[in-house]
């Protein structure tokens, strides 16, 4: 009975682990991926990137929808009493502050935006994590014409070398020309780029890496 592709792949990984004296199955998986494309780690290089400043929706901090950034709210039976119309918010804020102080919560009592701080307990911040509009640097890799994205993991938001999930802000575009003259391309995680390909990429912490001219599905 012929072996299935999955079993064949597992056997190749195990063999790479022994031959290359790799330190883990993760290392063996990466080396096997390179071997399947007919390349070696030294042949890979960072792909040129065109950087453009764009306004994007990115993770950030937004005003707390419960306390509206004030950190203090009125509570009744453990349930938040919503703030009244704008004209009466001064009275509401004053009463909320007094209730919080009576409950020994002088730094705020909002149950939505509270964050735990060692030695202080849960302290409301007035903000929660959410999506915000901001200007960020967006990278568009410029792969050589005819580049093949033939890694078995070349789909979605995963590292094409080891198949671990990689966010847009942390993936690195690389390419290599194999011994057969074919140019191969990948998007890999920063750790795999450094460990296996000796490739490093300097960029802004909040930057985003798009697929550029790579014909890949990113959803």
DSSP string spanning 90-130? Answer: HHHHHHHHHHHHHTT-TT---SSSEEEETTTEEEE-SEEEE
Domain that holds residue 70: 65-125
CA 202, 208, 214, 219 torsion-angle sign: positive
- Same domain for 187 and 84: no
- Same domain for 173 and 87: no
Q: Bridge-partner residues for 29, per DSSP?
A: none
Separation of alpha carbons 2 and 170, rounded Å? 39
For residue 141, the model assigns a pLDDT of 95
- Same domain for 76 and 165: no
Separation of alpha carbons 155 and 218, rounded Å? 7
Q: What is the mean pLDDT of residues 108-116?
A: 91
- Same domain for 49 and 120: no
Is it the case that residue 19 has pLDDT exceeding 50? no
Measured in whole angstroms, the distance separating CA 169 from the mean position of its chain's CA atoms is 6
For residue 18, the model assigns a pLDDT of 44
Is it the case that residue 173 has pLDDT exceeding 70? yes
- Same domain for 174 and 139: yes
- Same domain for 6 and 32: yes
- Same domain for 52 and 18: no
The band of 167, judged by pLDDT with boundaries at 50, 70 and 90, is: confident
Q: What is the mean pLDDT of residues 118-128?
A: 87
The whole model's pTM is what? Answer: 0.70
- Same domain for 176 and 83: no
For residue 215, the model assigns a pLDDT of 77
The band of 131, judged by pLDDT with boundaries at 50, 70 and 90, is: very high
How many structural domains are present in the chain? 3
- Same domain for 97 and 196: no
């Amino acid at each position: 009975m012929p072996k299935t592709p999955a079993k064949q792949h597992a056997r190749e990984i195990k063999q790479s682990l022994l031959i290359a004296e790799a330190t883990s199955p993760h290392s063996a998986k990466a080396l096997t991926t390179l071997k399947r494309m007919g390349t070696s780690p030294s042949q890979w290089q960072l792909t040129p990137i065109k950087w453009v400043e764009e306004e994007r929706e990115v993770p950030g901090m937004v005003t707390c929808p419960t306390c509206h950034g004030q950190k203090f709210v009125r509570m009744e039976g453990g349930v938040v009493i919503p703030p009244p119309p704008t004209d009466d918010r001064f009275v509401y804020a004053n009463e909320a502050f007094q209730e919080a102080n009576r409950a020994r919560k002088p730094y705020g009592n909002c149950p939505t935006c509270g964050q735990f701080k060692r030695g202080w307990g849960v302290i409301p911040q007035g903000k929660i994590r959410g999506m915000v509009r901001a200007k960020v640097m967006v990278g568009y890799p410029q792969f050589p014409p005819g580049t093949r994205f033939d890694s078995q993991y070349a789909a979605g938001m995963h590292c094409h070398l080891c198949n671990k999930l990689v966010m847009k802000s942390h993936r690195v575009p690389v390419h290599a020309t194999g011994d057969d003259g074919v140019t191969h391309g990948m998007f890999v995680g920063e750790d795999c780029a450094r460990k296996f390909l000796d490739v490093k990429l300097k960029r802004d912490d909040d930057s985003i890496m798009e697929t550029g001219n790579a014909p890949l599905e990113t959803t």
